[in-house]
């Protein structure tokens, strides 16, 4: 019928197959022939049942996100689902791969859903800053109950076929050729005869809803939304499904969808969706990747252990090397403990734990790294130590093995030069805890070979990381910008702000925590050690460290922590210390607004990002956004610092940076030429790499 849709017959069962690679999104060129085909089949008396299936790797993975923000071309998804519900003969969605968003909503328009055992089903729209706009919020609760629907829609997390079967979302689960099973299922259902009730008319489960329990759960979810509008709207829409007649609830869903899809938050989240995929693309498509079968990790401390777990979780055997037998046993013990915690939380089975632990081989002998295809050094942050390790690796690693360093700051060109094979050397900068945090900065050194880089990007995806390729500079993209963000924090304290006031400005902005909460969590001694190594000082933080106040781990840092507590309380001693230091420096405190805090911390962050683009350290502004959202908690609803700069108004940012530069003379405030250009053109294009 069209390139994107075929209709075939198996006896009296019609099979409609959507074929719109890569993910069978419901683009206009799918919707139009789909509508026509369904009308024809509804009217065709020789058809007893209709199976709706998809070609390729997945069922429909959603509406076509690239169409958002453009005028809707009819028929829209809602019209197709409404038509499906007028068909008296049985309609069956045959789901393999993922039925997501509009894909699941299409399937909810059918009388029945059957799924391949490995299929996943969900409504992930909330992750794009919207809510299901094709009737998902009103139909899903009718099949799985309002509370379950609420949880699925607000989290956006898909469920597997078995759970979908158990909850009533799918009617049968099959292994083997799904279309054949679906056709047999359809024929059997048609033979038994109707009437077949569309989902919209199944109200039994809704009547059983405990609204008080629903509202309690919704209130809890709203608290966790941290300023995001979509989760709140999702909850409201599911509640409407319970309290309003079907058509009214559907209309209310539509109104919420239209509002959200036009919001800055949704634009920001859609930007991030495409930015993450773009970041993984390298020039030179046909590069042959190196084969990676075994991974070596040097250092079994917090970082090395986490990296080793990330690879073991991704199915790779790992050789873990430590300098001493004791350190190795300690590291392996911590890894085992971490898996045990996952088992006790129910996120890992005993069997999976056993399998993962079986991936590890511990050693203290570099010769044991000879069979590794990738070796990652996660040792002490000291150039002499790194060079010694890379010298040893050069002697033992097999030809073509990728040699990576997890350094956060050091010059990787320098490290590469300590080997005879700089083409194989690059940075793999993981974020702590490395088995949890999504971000991986892949650092391309001057001589890194394109295939070593491409292999690393591919590998990142295989272990579930979001990869961003960056160039060499002090701190790469993330930590270099973090330094720019943090440089004013102490000044703000001395001028009259309190740690809680600054942290609150951050959490009100949407960050999970502010800079002082983050320092207390990470340990103040880390920054102290780094500053000492570089001959730098930070008067307040250094004094706290001298007093043994290292943050949460010592119960005292910028805040006071009750035994075992994660949230700190403001400490009058710290505030007195700050006032004392300010007096010593002759600084008279003044009232500082949240606006000033944001200007003096986040505008320099954006400014540093512009410099990074100018220098070609990042290839795209959107890469920087991916780094900050996945590695540092920049609020997703603001799309990352560079996207947010567009929302905030780049001209305003330049003007305020100039103001602060004039007042303080500090270089972080001197507007980057690219930022000024952005203020004029509205585009980040023009960086060295872009
Ligand atoms: C929705 O349905 C709204 C409705 O409720 C209301 C309507 C009225 N559209 O991720 P991958 C592209 S909202 C357009 O690398 P994987 C993607 O950009 C939607 N394009 O593959 C990439 O392009 P490129 C709700 C899309 O195997 C390519 O496909 N649904 C869409 O790792 C491959 O993607 C979702 O939010 C789309 N919907 O993962 C699901 N989806 O190659 C979104 C993908 O040029 N999608 N592309 O970079 C996913 O979660 C993953 O793509 C999926 C496959 C799990 C399906």
Compute the average pLDDT of residues 543-560: 95
Compute the average pLDDT of residues 65-80: 94
Compute the average pLDDT of residues 612-635: 96
Q: What is the pLDDT of residue 10?
A: 97
Q: What is the pLDDT of residue 688?
A: 62
For ligand 1, atom 49, name the residue with the nearest CA: 61
For ligand 1, atom 19, name the residue with the nearest CA: 62
- Given the residues 125, 276, 377, 614, select the one marked as catalytic: 125
Give the length of the chain. Answer: 690
For ligand 1, atom 48, name the residue with the nearest CA: 277
Annotation marks residue 381 as catalytic: no
Q: Mean pLDDT score of the chain, rounded to an integer?
A: 95
Its pTM surpasses 0.75: yes
> 294 in helix, strand or coil?
coil
Q: 627 CB under 6 A from ligand 1?
A: no
Is pLDDT of 689 > 70?
no
Tell me the per-residue pLDDT of 308-346, one tens digit each, with 9 for 90 and over.
Answer: 999 999 999 999 999 999 999 999 999 999 999 999 999
Is pLDDT of 685 > 60?
yes
Q: How far apart, in whole angstroms, are the C-alpha atoms of residue 108 and residue 105?
A: 5
Is pLDDT of 151 > 70?
yes
Atom of ligand 1 nearest to the CA of 58: 56
Tell me the per-residue pLDDT of 284-314, one tens digit each, with 9 for 90 and over.
Answer: 778 899 999 999 999 999 999 999 999 999 9
For the chain, the 3-state helix, strand and coil shares in percent, each to the nearest 5, are 55, 15, 35
Compute the average pLDDT of residues 128-155: 98
For ligand 1, atom 10, name the residue with the nearest CA: 277
Q: What is the pLDDT of residue 690?
A: 41
Annotation marks residue 105 as catalytic: yes
With the most atoms of ligand 1 within 8 angstroms of its CB, the residue from 4, 18, 23 to mutate is: 23
Q: Check if the beta carbon of residue 312 is closer than 8 Å to that of residue 359.
A: yes
Tell me the per-residue pLDDT of 160-199, one tens digit each, with 9 for 90 and over.
Answer: 999 999 999 999 999 999 999 999 999 999 999 989 999 9
CA dihedral 635, 640, 642, 644 (to 10 degrees): -30
Using left for φ > 0, alpha for ψ between -120 and 50, and beta otherwise, residue 5 falls in beta
Joined together, the tokens standing for residue 40 give: 């024809």
- Centre of ligand 1 from the C-alpha of residue 411, in Å: 37
* Angle of the 246-261 helix axis to the 229-243 helix axis, nearest 10: 170
Atom of ligand 1 nearest to the CA of 280: 48
Cα distance between the two ends of the chain? 42
Compute the average pLDDT of residues 533-552: 92
Compute the average pLDDT of residues 497-508: 96
Atom of ligand 1 nearest to the CA of 102: 2
Q: Is 209 exposed, middle or buried (0-12, 13-18, 19+ CB in 10 A)?
A: buried
Q: In what order do the strands lie in the sheet with 159-160?
A: 98-100, 120-122, 159-160
């Amino acid at each position: 019928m069209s390139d994107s849709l075929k209709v075939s017959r198996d006896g009296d069962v019609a099979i409609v197959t959507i074929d719109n690679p890569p993910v069978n999104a419901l683009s206009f060129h799918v919707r139009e022939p789909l509508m026509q085909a369904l009308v024809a089949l509804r009217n065709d008396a020789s058809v007893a049942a209709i199976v709706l299936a998809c070609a390729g790797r997945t069922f429909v993975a959603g509406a076509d996100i690239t169409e958002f923000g453009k005028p809707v071309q009819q028929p829209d998804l809602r019209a197709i689902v409404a038509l499906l519900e007028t068909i008296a003969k049985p309609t069956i969605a045959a789901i393999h791969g993922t039925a997501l968003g509009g894909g699941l909503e299409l399937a909810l328009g059918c009388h029945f859903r059957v799924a391949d055992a490995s299929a996943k089903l969900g409504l992930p729209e909330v992750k794009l800053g919207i809510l299901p706009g094709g009737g998902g919020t009103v139909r899903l609760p009718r099949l799985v109950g309002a509370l379950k629907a609420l949880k699925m829609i607000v989290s956006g997390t898909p469920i597997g076929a078995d759970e979908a079967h158990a909850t009533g979302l799918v009617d049968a689960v099959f292994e083997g050729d799904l279309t054949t099973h679906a056709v047999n299922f359809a024929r059997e259902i048609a033979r038994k005869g109707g009437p077949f009730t569309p989902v919209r008319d199944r109200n039994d489960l809704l009547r059983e809803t405990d609204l008080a329990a629903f509202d309690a759960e919704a209130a809890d979810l709203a608290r966790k939304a941290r300023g995001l509008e979509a989760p709140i709207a999702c909850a409201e829409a599911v509640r409407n499904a319970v309290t309003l007649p079907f058509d009214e609830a559907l209309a209310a869903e539509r109104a919420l969808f239209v509002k959200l899809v036009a919001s800055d938050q949704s634009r920001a989240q859609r930007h991030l969706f495409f930015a993450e995929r773009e970041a993984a693309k390298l020039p030179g498509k046909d590069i042959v990747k190196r084969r990676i079968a075994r991974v070596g990790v040097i250092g079994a401390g917090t970082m090395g252990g986490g990296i080793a777990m990330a690879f073991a979780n991704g199915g790779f055997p790992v050789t873990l090397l430590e300098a001493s037998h004791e350190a190795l046993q300690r590291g392996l013990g911590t890894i085992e403990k971490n898996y045990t915690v996952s088992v006790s939380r129910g996120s890992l089975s005993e069997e999976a734990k056993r399998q993962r632990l079986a991936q590890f081989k511990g050693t203290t002998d570099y010769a044991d790294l000879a069979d590794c295809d990738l070796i990652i050094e996660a040792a002490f942050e000291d150039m002499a130590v790194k060079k010694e390790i890379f010298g040893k690796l050069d002697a033992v690693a097999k030809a073509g093995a990728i040699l990576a360093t997890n350094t956060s700051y050091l010059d990787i060109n320098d490290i590469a030069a300590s080997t005879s094979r700089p083409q194989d050397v690059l940075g793999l900068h993981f974020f702590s805890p490395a088995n949890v945090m999504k971000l991986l900065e892949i650092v391309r050194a001057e001589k890194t070979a394109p295939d070593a880089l491409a292999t690393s990007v591919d590998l990142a995806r295989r272990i579930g990381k979001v990869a961003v390729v960056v160039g060499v500079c002090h701190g790469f993209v993330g930590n270099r910008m973090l330094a720019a963000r943090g440089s004013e924090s102490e000044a703000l304290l001395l001028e009259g702000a309190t740690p809680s006031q600054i942290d609150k400005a951050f959490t009100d902005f949407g960050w999970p925590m502010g800079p002082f909460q983050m320092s207390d969590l990470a340990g103040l001694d880390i920054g102290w050690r780094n500053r000492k190594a570089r001959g730098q000082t930070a008067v307040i933080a250094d004094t706290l460290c001298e007093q043994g106040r290292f943050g949460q781990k010592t119960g005292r840092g910028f805040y006071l922590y009750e035994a075992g507590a994660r949230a700190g309380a403001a400490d009058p001693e710290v505030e007195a210390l700050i006032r004392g230091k300010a007096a010593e420096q002759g600084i008279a405190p003044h009232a500082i607004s949240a606006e000033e805090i944001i200007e003096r911390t986040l505008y320099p962050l954006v400014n540093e990002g512009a410099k990074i683009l100018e220098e070609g350290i990042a290839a795209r502004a959107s890469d920087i956004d991916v780094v900050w959202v996945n590695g540092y908690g920049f609020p997703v609803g603001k799309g990352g610092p560079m996207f947010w700069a567009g929302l905030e108004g780049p001209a305003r940012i330049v003007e305020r940076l100039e103001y602060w530069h004039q007042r303080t003379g500090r270089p972080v405030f001197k507007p980057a030429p690219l930022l000024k250009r952005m203020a004029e053109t509205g585009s980040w294009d023009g960086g060295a790499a872009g």
